[in-house]
Structure formats: C-alpha cells, structure tokens
Amino acid sequence: MSPAKNDKDVRFIEQLENEFEVSKKFIHPGLRRSVDVKVLHTLLRRPTEAALVMELFDGIPLEAQDMRDVGKIVDIFIQVADALDSMHTLGYVHCDLKPNNILFDSHGVAKVIDFGQTCKVGTARNAFRARRISSLPSR
C-alpha cells in the first residue's frame, strides 16, 4: 500500500477501485481479473492508501514485442477482439486500450489489462471529455 499525498493519488485510488469493481466480474481468459482491493479511508471517507490484488499473468506488453510476424499479429488481434467482445457483453468499454495494456506470453496467449478507465456502455468519463475539449484548436 502507498499513502495518498494529493488529489492525483486520490484519483489513482479511485481508478483502482473502479478496476476492481469491473474486473472482478470477468470470466473470459483474455481479461485479467482482480481478486481483492483494500482501501483505507480517513474519518471523512477520503481514501488514503490502497492495494489491488490481481490475477498473475507472466507476459510482456505488446509494445515491447518484436512484431514482424503478420500471422502472430493477427492472432493477437483476434484474441483481444474476443476478450473485448466479452467485456462489451457485460456492458463495459475499456476506454484506455493501447499496446501497453495488452500482454502477450511465450505460449501465444494475449491478455487485456488495466481497467481503471473502464466505464459502462453509453457513459463517458470526465477525463476523456476534458482531453477532447483541451485538444481543440483555439479560435
């Protein structure tokens, strides 16, 4: 557990709690499950420390892989699409899918990770709206 020192740390703890609430429901082998979360709060319910226990998966991020084999790339994409389909069936959207959030092991198994930004289908997270607005050219 690490202590929360500022608002950024508090947001991180909130993302851990979100990841746990979402990923504890997963049954698909391509989605990393969370097992437990522990959060300590102040008397006024401000989170101060947190720990997330997740399924162990010994893989390397897709970004760090040598991806010259087109067949291997297609296989990974098929596995990821199948995992995301399972997630969408549960009513969730990942919202932060990128090569660092896809692990690939030595047996050819891909696993999607990092569900802190995940939200229900049909909703939006404030952070994404803020990024979109701030990236618009000024007039």
d(CA 115, CA 122): 17
Q: Is 96 a catalytic residue?
A: yes
Catalytic residue (one of 69, 85, 96, 114): 96
C-beta separation of 124 from 132 below 8 A: no
Q: CA 92 to CA 139: how far, in whole Å?
A: 36
Rounded CA Rg of the chain? 17
Q: Return the HEC string of 79-134.
A: HHHHHHHHHHHCCEECCCCCHHHEEECCCCCEEECCCCCCEECCCCCHHHHHHHHH
Residues annotated catalytic, as ranges:
96
